[in-house]
Amino acid sequence: MIIVLKPGCTDAQLTHICEKLEEMGFRHEVSRGIKRTLVGVIGEEDQLRNAPLKAIPGVEEVMSVLKPFKLASREFHEEPSVIDLGHGVKVGGGYLMMIAGPCAIEGEELLHEIGTKVKAAGANVLRGGAFKPRTSPYSFQGMGEEGLQILRRVGDELQMPVVTEVMDPRQVELVNEYTDIFQIGARNMQNFNLLNEVGQTNRPVLLKRGMSATIQDLLMSAEYILSNGNMKVILCERGIRSFDSSTRNLLDLAAVPNLQGLSHLPVVVDPSHATGRPDLIPPMALASVAAGADGVHIEVHSCPEKATSDGAQALLPEQYAEVAQQMAALAKLLNKTIPAAGSAS
Ligand code: PEP
Ligand code: MN
């Protein structure tokens, strides 16, 4: 349910409404739009239908959201959400996040070298996996906590927010100590315990679309995080499984305007995992910006043949620099801003 507040509803009335909802056993989330203030109410459908919400002072209207995702919907939040990522970087509502870095953290010197180069090229978020979801249990599984420490140090030195994957609810506390943004990987998009756990933190979450997930599945997963109180969810299209093996996955670019029409959450595209091919990543990165993406996520490695994971799809730093420059030109044409990492928040 969504409660629409009367114009001029006072802060005291809003506090009273929230207290009443808590008394009735409902969770709630306030959305202050330019035109009106809404309160999203979450609880059992039957109980919600029968609750006397309209009788609370300050309430103008009570609407039921027909879509199964409520807090993720445009009905709840009309304007696009803008999420602060730290180090002066924001995403959504005209701000683009440019995520770049190696698939896995392999060592401090290497991460520092790659980070320095991608930042100089215009990237504003540094990525690197410390816990890697590998298809084979015999493949490199990541550096674990040592990797997280390296990522944190390099991010601080370069003044860039960092993003890294968390694979298990038991890792959330540890990863939370080091990262600015949690990444939920495609394979874990429906790990509901993990979604609940990151939903209880206050950190932005980059939620990747599962390889067989529909648009609605992705939004329902976002809803798990939002309904726990964490409204900082960034959706990521990273390709879905298809019958065609000429690319690693099939990039669903229409997902960008499709999701943006349904939801206020920012939508980022990852052409690296979507195509798996360095020759296809630059054109698909540009197409992502042209399609209105709120960010682009690209894997970069200075020596792809030595990479411990996903080397075959990594761009060289100079290839990244070229496409980043083109993305910046396109962003400017579209009146979008790419915040520089390291400027004051
Ligand atoms: C990654 O970002 O390195 C990764 C494993 O991505 P995905 O979950 O999209 O496969
Ligand atoms: Mn990867």
Which spans in 33-186 are helix H? 45-50, 108-121, 145-158, 172-178
Provide the CA 205 distance to its chain's centre, in angstroms: 5
Question: Does the pLDDT of residue 259 top 80, yes or no?
Answer: yes
Domain locations along the chain: 2-63, 83-333
pLDDT of residue 34: 76
Choose which residue among 103, 182, 208 to substitute to test ligand 1 binding: the one with the highest number of ligand atoms within 8 A of its C-beta: 208
3-class DSSP state of 32: strand
Residue with tokens 């990863």: 175
Atom 4 in ligand 1: residue holding the nearest Cα: 185
C-alpha to C-alpha distance for 163 and 16, rounded to whole angstroms: 38
C-alpha to C-alpha distance for 320 and 315, rounded to whole angstroms: 6
pLDDT digits (tens, 9 = 90+) for 207-253: 999 999 999 999 999 999 999 999 999 999 999 999 999 999 999 99
pLDDT digits (tens, 9 = 90+) for 298-337: 999 999 999 999 999 999 999 999 999 999 999 999 999 9
Provide the percentage of residues in the chain whose pLDDT is more than 70. 99
Contact in structure between 102 and 298 (CB atoms under 8 Å): no
The length of the chain, given as a count of residues: 345
CA dihedral in degrees (201, 203, 206, 212; nearest 10)?
0
3-class DSSP state of 299: strand
What is the torsional sign of CA 343, 97, 154, 282?
negative
- For residue 6, how far is its CA from the centre of ligand 1 (angstroms)? 44
Atom 1 in ligand 1: residue holding the nearest Cα: 103
Angle (CA) 192 194 200, round 5°:
105
CA-closest candidate to residue 295, choices 31, 89, 132: 89
Angle (CA) 188 125 282, round 5°:
85
- For residue 112, how far is its CA from the centre of ligand 1 (angstroms)? 21
DSSP string, 96-131: -EEEEE-SB---HHHHHHHHHHHHHHT--EEE-BSS
Choose which residue among 183, 188, 268, 313 to substitute to test ligand 1 binding: the one with the highest number of ligand atoms within 8 A of its C-beta: 183
Average pLDDT along the chain: 95
The superfamily (CATH) of domain 83-333 is: Aldolase class I (3.20.20.70)
Q: How confident is the model at residue 345 (pLDDT cuts 50, 70, 90)?
A: low
Q: Which CATH class is domain 2-63?
A: alpha beta
- For residue 185, how far is its CA from the centre of ligand 1 (angstroms)? 5
* Count of C-beta atoms within a 10 Å radius of residue 340: 14
